[in-house]
Amino acid sequence: MTESSRAVRVRFCPSPTGNLHVGNVRTALFNWAFARHHGGTFVFRVEDTDAARDSEESYQGLLDALRWLGLDWDEGPEVGGDLGPYRQSERMPLYAEVAKKLIDAGYAYYAYDTPEELEERRETARAEGRSSGYDGLHRDLTDEQRAAYEAEGRKPVVRFRMPDEAIVFEDLVRGEVTFEPEHVSDYVILRANGQPLYTLTNPVDDATMGITHVLRGEDLLSSTPRQIPLHRALVELGIGEGVVPEYGHLPFVMGPGNRKLSKRDPGGGLADYRDRGFLPEGLLNYLALLGWSIGGDREIFSLQEMAEAFDIGRVNPNPAQFDPKKCEAVNAQHIRDLPVEDLATRLLPYLADAGLVGSEPSEAELALLAAATPLVNERITVLSEAVEMLAFLFVSEDGFAVDPDDGAKTLTDDGLTVVRAARDALAGLDPFDTASIEAALRAALVDGLGLKPRNAFGPVRVAVSGRRISPPLFESIELLGKERTLSRLDSALAR
């Protein structure tokens, strides 16, 4: 990694086109950690010039996603800053002005080729084994030639004039990278209708916002040899903050079939993780492991610890394989590390969505959740799993039901014999607490009926919780209470 004395300024610049991809989230995370590690500035800007795909709903979703993730930005929407605006749709006059300056200075030119002409010349180049990029035919048109094309009604695009030399740069992740000129032809920066392309807007924004380091996905590596000469031209013209950024290209995140993970793949979009109940800190911890390590064999760490240790030079350039099970395991550890009060608060929205508690929970519901949370924090990998585990405690007796499959397997004639013995053992129990419940049931079922614990407690678990898998049985019965427990045992026997 090259060193720079400039104050670090990095950016995250997604397009508001729907569900944020987890690969984009990792890019945001690495930029955030790089800025925080160096005491720099994390800029959030939005590339919303594609009117056909961008939407205000997606824009608000981006803001909400970054807030949920906890990746706070120093400049950008809702925060402001001296180098805004931070939405490209509000910067269109700037792009037109810069394009004109580039043309006037000879860094860009009008090209009048028709699509048919371009394709014909590309086919010829491919047949001859040459590069099929733009051949520069309209690089040096005279005023008369331009006038003739315009008389035909042709509308020109604007192309940037690439230097006839190799582009060499030091990638912060990959080391020295070289692109020979025949592989990087003159490229379009303005469409014929005057609409600026990413090839212009992105570098102009980076230049005018003083971005010092660009950390982005490997899929954009081919853009870099085009953008570096444009940045140099902007510096020569005095446009922006006089900075040519350093670039680092992050490895691909690979999904099923060892192909690049798409947001359409299961687990590819951020919304899936939020809906399932991943903790933002758990998800970010796992995404950090896709190409980077905090050191040693350590895998669990906080955002703050990542920021303190982050070194872009230690990012592995090789593709990173997304492992859903590993992601869940990392998230589960973060759930276990949460204080009980915090975990209970995070569970509330999922219980409310399931209709198990009110939108404004009562004191009794909050107290029951606080008592029940320690019973599930070691048993769930995502927050939504607690809903099924805790439903039996919150559902009304009229709404309680035994899972048909679990009931059929467990509440057989032998199972109901166990339930009847359990009911008799608990009916006169006082006090009705965990220790007393365990002692009474062990005496009646293990000692009295001579059953192994698994066979002794399974039917009771299904009768009171409705499922074969539940939180610890004795603690659950205490929370359920004597009256409701006996009622459910009676209902099982009545079946």
Q: Tokens at residue 331, please?
A: 């998230």
Q: How far apart are CA 201 and CA 47, in angstroms?
A: 9
Marked catalytic residue, from 263, 325, 326, 409: 263
Q: Which helix (H) or strand (E) holds 253?
A: strand 253-254
Q: Is the dihedral of CA 322, 323, 324, 327 positive or negative?
A: negative
The pLDDT, as a whole number, for residue 93 is 97
HEC secondary structure over 413-463: HHHHHHHHHHHHHHHCCCCCCHHHHHHHHHHHHHHCCCCCHHHHHHHHHHH
The pLDDT, as a whole number, for residue 51 is 72
Q: How far apart are CA 176 and CA 405, in angstroms?
A: 61
The pLDDT, as a whole number, for residue 4 is 53
The pLDDT, as a whole number, for residue 108 is 98
Question: Are 332 and 268 in contact, with CB atoms under 8 Å apart?
Answer: no
The pLDDT, as a whole number, for residue 36 is 98
The pLDDT, as a whole number, for residue 3 is 44
* Annotation: binding site for ATP: 263
Candidates 206, 241, 240, 208; CA nearest to 220 is 206
> In this structure, which amino acid lies at residue 194?
G
The pLDDT, as a whole number, for residue 54 is 76
Under-70 pLDDT residues of the chain:
1-5
Q: For 27-56, b where at least 16 C-beta lie within 10 A, e where not — what string?
A: bbbbbbbbbbbbebbbbbbbbbbeeeebee
The pLDDT, as a whole number, for residue 250 is 97
The pLDDT, as a whole number, for residue 260 is 87
3-state secondary structure of 158: strand
The pLDDT, as a whole number, for residue 257 is 80
> In this structure, which amino acid lies at residue 94?
L
**Sequence-distant (≥ 6) Cβ neighbours of residue 339 within 8 angstroms:** none
* Strand pairing category for 320-321 and 253-254: parallel
Task: Supply the pTM of this predicted model.
Answer: 0.93
- Residue 59, CA distances (Å) to 13, 26, 48, 451 in order: 12, 19, 8, 61
Q: How far apart are CA 163 and CA 465, in angstroms?
A: 73
Question: Are 422 and 444 in contact, with CB atoms under 8 Å apart?
Answer: yes
Domain boundaries, the chain: 338-395, 398-495
Q: Which helix (H) or strand (E) holds 474?
A: helix 473-480
**Sequence-distant (≥ 6) Cβ neighbours of residue 318 within 8 angstroms:** 251, 291
Q: Is 374 exposed, middle or buried (0-12, 13-18, 19+ CB in 10 A)?
A: middle
Phi-psi region of 290 (alpha: psi -120 to 50; beta: other; left: phi over 0): beta
Q: How far apart are CA 194 and CA 196, in angstroms?
A: 6
- Return the CATH number of the domain spanning residue range 398-495: 1.10.10.350
263 counts as catalytic: yes
Q: Which helix (H) or strand (E) holds 44?
A: strand 41-44
- CATH architecture of the domain 338-395 equals Orthogonal Bundle (1.10)
